[in-house]
Amino acid sequence: MAAKNFFVFIIGLFIPLLVLGETCVRPKATPDIYTSGNIFMSTETVFLTEFSLTCENNAKDVHLYAEVNGNVMPVTRSADDTKYQVSWSVAHKKAPSGTYKINFMDEEGYSNYRKAQRSGESTEIKPLFTLDINHKGAGREGLWVQTEFLAVVAALLIWWSANNIKNKIQDS
């Protein structure tokens, strides 16, 4: 019985180590950032940040969470674990132009954030690293009229001129 309890105790010690990701020391992110801004092409502004992460301690299995304007979301990893990605969308009116700050947290930082939230304390937790997104705002790009309208007008003008030429030939 003592051997069984000892075995359960040892398993209980090592399971958390297998579940948790590694801690990144002095992270450096290399981002590719995209924001949509065309009112005609979408109903919402999309923010997309893809980045590669290098750590001084060469940590590979880093689980990250992103916090933007008080909203926390998980960060996804690519299948080959070389890139991370976080994205969200909001209505055009709620996404004015300016700089948006994304705070990234590891599992420990996320845990501290949730504790502060539950206890009603300030959720100002020191992030692992931060990325800034410069968004120019949503606006009208391209032509003021839709291309379908221009195509219909061009087709009507061609038909009208061809009909006039046909009538002139028939009258003479």
Domains of the chain: 23-141 (2.60.40)
d(CA 75, CA 24): 15
What pLDDT is recorded for position 23? 79
Task: Kindly report the pTM of this predicted structure.
Answer: 0.65
Residues 98-129: tens digit of each pLDDT? 899 999 999 988 988 888 888 887 777 788 89
SS3 content of the chain, % helix, strand, coil (to 5): 35, 30, 35
Could you tell me the end-to-end alpha-carbon distance of the chain, in angstroms, rounded to an integer? Answer: 115
Say if residue 14's pLDDT is above 60: no
Name which of 129, 69, 127, 128 is nearest 100 in CA terms.
69
What pLDDT is recorded for position 21? 60
